[in-house]
Structures are given as C-alpha cells and as structure tokens.
Amino acid sequence: MITLTQEQEKKLLAGLVAALVILIVYRFQTAEKPRTAPLTYSRGAVATSPVRTGLQTPAAAADPLQVFLVRRKEQYPGVVRDIFRMENPAPKAKVKPVPVAVLPPPPPPVPVKTPEELAAEASRADLSKFRFLGYLTDKDSKLFLSKDGELYIVQSGDTVLKNYRVKEAGKDYVVLMDSATRVEVRVELSGGSDPASQKPRQ
C-alpha cells in the first residue's frame, strides 16, 4: 500500500483540477455552434402534408415485426403532419352582391261595396230616368212625369211605381225618393230634353 504525504496529496489534487479546467476550456472552444435555417413559409401558411393514417394491416392480429418495419418506413414517425411543408392559403373568392329587384308598390285595395250601397246606386240610376214635363195648369198642383215612354200624372205625396214617392214639388223641379233605400233625386223642369239637369240628392 502506497502512502502519500500531505504535500503529495495537495500536488495530486491540484494536477487533477488543472486537467479538468483544461478539458472544459477545450470543450467550449471546439463545440459546434447551433445550426439555423431560414423558414420556407410565410405567416398564415397552411400545411399540405397528408394526415397520418393508421396502419393498413391485413388482419386484426398483425405481425409485430411487420408493424415495426412499416413504422420505420414512415418519413415522420409519430408526427401527424409535416410542419416544414407549408403553403399560402388559397384566397377566398369574393361574393358579389346580387342586386335586389325593387318591386313597385302594390295597388291600393279596391273597396268592396256593401249590398246597401249597391242597392242605393241602382235606385239612384233608376230615379234619374224620370223627366219632369211640367204642371197640368198654372193653378193645378198636378204635374207630369215620364219614364221609359210612360207618362204619369201625380202630385206632391203620391207614389209612382210602388216604391217611388213625390217628396217635394216646386215650380221648376221635383224631388223623387225611393222609400226602400231612402235615396232622393231632384229632377229639374226640362220637358224631357235635358237629362243632365237631373241631380241626385243624398
């Protein structure tokens, strides 16, 4: 057994420390710098590598050796897609707005006449066919009315053709009223030659 003195132990320890320092300095000087490469895709690029699919095995119980060999042939085993193969996304097609056809406003609804209004119009049209031909004499209150070629001799308050009544008689006019619809028509003295002179009364 070799016995070292205290001074020899110090020298041996100093030599080991010096050798360790030399090795560390040599390692830092000879170490390779990290390699870098520029990116080949721009921001927002979309990956085009296919998604990794499962193994195509002929049966459920595949040979483990075949599974191992298939995995070794994969370009990027265990990776879903290749992040280094990117491309810019396709621009989205702009949709042109379709012009909306401006439709004209719908026509106003045609008012529907009630049966009462239709009856009043028919009565007014029939009363307008009467002609006031004058009085029998200047002092007599009897007057002459004609309608559709028929001649009627009546006076104020009499009824003509069942529904029509002589409501009022003046010197140059007569007011006829339909007792059913309460429509009144003023017939001017015209001798039967001026139909436009007849005026309906409400």
Residue listed under structure tokens 């002929």: 58
Query: Residues of the chain with pLDDT > 70: what percent?
Result: 69
Comparing CA positions, the residue from 181, 73, 85 lying closest to residue 126 is: 181
**Per-residue pLDDT at 91:** 73
The answer to whether 176 and 166 have CB atoms below 8 angstroms apart is: yes
Rounded Cα distance between 160 and 150, Å, is: 11
Q: How far is CA 169 from the centre of its chain?
A: 66
Pick the CATH number of 118-201 from 2.10.25, 1.10.287, 2.30.30, 3.40.50: 2.30.30
Rounded Cα distance between 162 and 157, Å, is: 13
Q: Which two tokens stand for residue 101?
A: 């056809």
Residue 123 Cα distances to 66, 128, 149, 155, 179, angstroms: 107, 9, 19, 21, 10
**Per-residue pLDDT at 89:** 61
Strand partners, 188: 173
Give per-residue pLDDT as tens, 149-194.
888 888 888 888 888 999 988 888 889 999 888 899 998 887 544 4
Query: 34, exposed or middle or buried, with CB in 10 Å at 0-12, 13-18, 19+?
Result: exposed
Question: What value does the mean pLDDT take over residues 70-85?
Answer: 58
Model confidence at 88: pLDDT above 80: no
Model confidence at 90: pLDDT above 70: no
The answer to whether 164 and 177 have CB atoms below 8 angstroms apart is: yes
Give per-residue pLDDT as tens, 98-134.
787 788 888 888 888 888 888 889 999 998 889 988 8
The answer to whether 34 and 63 have CB atoms below 8 angstroms apart is: no
Question: What value does the mean pLDDT take over residues 41-63?
Answer: 58
Provide the whole-model pTM. Answer: 0.41
